[in-house]
Amino acid sequence: MAEPRGKPWQAGDDVPAYVWLSNKGGEDDRLVVASTPNAASVDIVNADGKLLPEGMDLPANKLVELEPGQTHMVLRDVHQQIRGGDFMKFTMRFENAGSITFNIQSQIPAYDQSPSPTR
């Protein structure tokens, strides 16, 4: 979750979430659902923002990048402001591997700091 330019995410916003997942289990798996107490729900969506109700495949021994322009997650109706650097508890449930809960950090913004052109 990168903080948008100019201000943090606000309560009620839908916030994109990007993570990398590595399936080291030796067998294909599937991310079936994700949740956080900081949002009403978490959707798994494709690059076009369409809901993937069956979740997403995680091939064995592969890194899957949930990134902008690809399949990713969206936190719907966040409950509080989210600033770059904030942590939140996040749970992912996998078809075979079960559930894992961890803290995820919102990305600290790295805005373009280049100087303005001189006249």
- In this prediction the pTM is 0.83
Q: Which domain holds residue 23?
A: 15-105
How many domains is the chain partitioned into structurally? 1
Q: What is the CATH number of the domain that holds 31?
A: 2.60.40.1890
Q: Among residues of the chain, what percentage have pLDDT more than 70? A: 87
Per the model's pLDDT, the better-predicted residue between 85 and 52 turns out to be: 52
CB crowding 51-68: b at 16 or more within 10 Å, else e:
eeeebbebeeeeebebee
pLDDT in tens, 44-77: 999 999 999 999 999 999 999 999 899 999 999 9
